[in-house]
Chains A and B, each alone.
Chain A
Amino acid sequence: MKKYNDLFILALILAAVPLLAGSSAYYMRLATLALVYMAWTVAFNLIFGHTKQLFLCVGALAGSAAYVTVVLTKQLALSPWLSVPLGIATAAGLGALFSYVSVLRGLGVIFLGIVTLAFSLIFHNLVLGLRQFTNGETGLVTRGLGFPALEQPLPSYYIFLAVLLAALAIYGALMRSRMGMAVRALSDDELTAELSGIDVTRYKVLAAAVASAILGLAGSLYAFYNGIVSPSVFSFVSVDIPVLIGLLLGGMRTRLGPIIGAAAFAIIEELVRPFGQLNVLVYGILLIVLFVAFREGIVVLLRRRLGLSLP
């Protein structure tokens, strides 16, 4: 049971947040949003942190799941119990496809980055172009379509908390399995891992598929919670950048890093909100400074300075 101690402590802390913020709808929404970004960052940690695949399409993967879910629910009157898994399957399929193709063609980090960035733009333009299904820039109203619980603040918070804990549990289980060992080996040196008999292709694709499924799950539910799904909700600036910064801030290849990083990013975002347009500039500076001077992240810093054994 000791292995899960940090998860219990984390769950207790996060479950207590509504006691503090519960009275204010604004803070409840912020806290819920932070949970969504935490789940996305956990997934991105698996893709970029552990298997070094630079996916510049986190928002597009979450968004494709969200749009598949919402459009199917709306057009075919499907139950969300059916359309959400279809959305998740779409995201997981796309993620696995990019990963498989990149391994197959031997694409370096940069070309995978360009291919996935191109996919982000294709997704964005498809959503704008397929006006009859997606309603273009305006987006689709999702109120009354999905789960009724996702339209009330407090149940929504606990639903997303459950999603986050499930993501962490999946992550923890994967890392303790044979796959965890394989992934640690291939993140050190891919060629050596391959030579020692590890099926690099399989584990990279598996990591990408599982992580994309988590992205899709959080994305689909977020679309219902948000009340509206539009291209700007899942744009590069509103998803990929926060997730990348959150992961770097918290610490790549750690279990708690994505949580701490995404929480820190949520606080930073609140602080720079008064500056309006300048927030993009702050993100740019953060990205540069973090990548040059703080590549290990908060978790590693805490481990070293305070001697904590954080996972």
Chain B
Amino acid sequence: MSAIVFDGIVQGLQLSLLAVGITLIYGLGGVLNLAHGQFAVFGGVATTLLLSLGLPPIIAIPGGVGSAGLLGIVVDRTLLLPAYRFRGEERLLLGLILTLGLSFVIDGYLNYQFPEFSLNLRLPVPMVEVAGIPMRTASLAASAIALAIFAGLFAFLKLTLLGKCIRSIIENEVGAELCGIDPARTRTLIVCLAAMMAGVAGVTQGLFSTLGTEMGPEFTILGLLVAVVGGVRSINGTLAAGILLGIVNAFASHFVGAYVAYIILLSFAMATILVRPAGLLARFT
């Protein structure tokens, strides 16, 4: 039983890592990024390409994650510009369609260029005992990476001046602008950070099992569900929702099978949107 919970937490942390990027971009830029899973796959593919050049993993992995960040910057500075010209509902709609288009462009290109691709980083030691439960080293490593990134992100947002600027834009974009904060530059930084976190999630997927080029849409959907259940504007909410959905998914896949588990997750997210549109942890709706 506790093995299932642990498994769920490990999966959930990966989901949160994807979803927190969606939350940040939505909170800061007012764009719901439908190409987020594709950022993750892009990071994984870039890592593999660097590895195949003969680079050691210690350089290839940051390189791959960095190239996902670079893609984020390019997307923010070119593709999303038309969306940023609007505010509110209009920006949301335009951003939604633009990132949907982008997700097709990335998917189409990667599937065409690397049809047989799979990233698979095997760690040498197969099993470790944690609190009496046998765990794969890969799961532990992936969770440790995710936790370290979350700790860094929280410290950055709470302690640094830039982090405070970011939170102020999430609270109120116009107000922040009046205080002399440049939303455009901060936005680019956040899209870059979010894309890098997605890239990390893509690479860690390669630690557990394999990452294929066709997995982008699945990542996007899962990230989106977690972000929505967490309340698309709250980072704490996203982290909690990721772990919750990870555990729900682990139990559901264990007892009722993968298809039904996915349907349960989707229905859960739909119900959350309908009952508490501001997210599970929101104080008011």
Contact = CB atoms under 8 A, between A and B. Distances in A.
B188 to A, nearest CB: 19
A54 to B, nearest CB: 7
B263 A125 contact: yes
Given A121-B266, A122-B263, A277-B115, A291 B98 contact: yes
Contacts of A113: 96
Contacts of B32: 110, 114
A54 B94 CA distance: 12
Nearest to A119: B270
A142 interface: no
A288 B115 CA distance: 24
A125 B259 contact: yes
B121 interface: no
A310 interface: no
Interface in B211-246: 221, 224-225, 228
Contact of A281 (B98, B108, B263): B108
Interface in A204-223: none
Interface stretch (A1-9, A65-73, A100-108, A172-180): A100-108
B276 to A, nearest CB: 10
B263 A280 contact: no
B115 A107 contact: no
Interface in B85-125: 89, 92-94, 96-98, 100-109, 111-112, 115
Given A121-B266, A129-B259, A284-B105, A114 B277 contact: no
A276 interface: yes
A120 B273 CA distance: 16
B30 to A, nearest CB: 10
Contacts of A122: 263, 266-267, 270
A287 B104 contact: yes
A101 B97 CA distance: 23
A141 interface: no
Interface in B49-100: 79, 82, 89, 92-94, 96-98, 100
A10 B277 CA distance: 45
A283 interface: yes
A110 B96 contact: yes
Interface in A257-277: 275-277
Contact of B274 (A54, A115, A282, A292): A115
Contacts of B108: 277-284
B170 to A, nearest CB: 17
Contacts of B273: 105, 107, 111, 114-115
B93 A292 contact: no
Contacts of B93: 54, 109-110
Given A114-B273, A118-B266, A126-B263, A287 B112 contact: no
A30 interface: no
B260 interface: yes
B262 interface: yes
What secondary structure prevails in chain B residues at the interface with A? helix
B46 interface: no
A94 to B, nearest CB: 13
Given A277-B108, A283-B108, A109 B266 contact: no
A166 B108 CA distance: 36
Contacts of B266: 118, 121-122, 125
Nearest to B88: A108
A81 to B, nearest CB: 32
A285 interface: yes
A128 interface: yes
B259 A280 contact: no
**Chain B, interface residues (CB within 8 Å), range:** 35 or more
A244 B97 CA distance: 10
Most buried by B among A101, A241, A284, A292: A284
B277 A105 contact: yes
A241 B260 CA distance: 26
B112 A278 contact: yes
B269 interface: yes
A288 B102 contact: yes
A288 B225 contact: no
A108 B79 CA distance: 23
B100 A287 contact: yes
B89 A108 contact: yes
Most buried by B among A114, A119, A283: A114
Contacts of A54: 93, 96
Contacts of B269: 114, 118
Interface in B174-200: none
Most buried by B among A54, A111, A279: A111
Interface of A: 54, 101, 105, 107-111, 113-115, 117-119, 121-122, 125-126, 128-129, 241, 244, 275-288, 291-292
Given A125-B263, A291-B97, 17 more contacts: A105-B274, A110-B96, A113-B96, A114-B32, A115-B270, A118-B267, A125-B262, A126-B259, A129-B263, A276-B112, A277-B111, A278-B108, A278-B109, A283-B101, A287-B97, A288-B101, A288-B102
Interface of B: 32, 79, 82, 89, 92-94, 96-98, 100-109, 111-112, 115, 221, 224-225, 228, 257, 259-260, 262-263, 266-267, 269-270, 273-274, 277
15 contacts: A107-B277, A111-B277, A122-B263, A122-B270, A125-B259, A125-B263, A129-B260, A280-B104, A280-B107, A284-B106, A284-B108, A287-B100, A288-B102, A291-B98, A292-B82
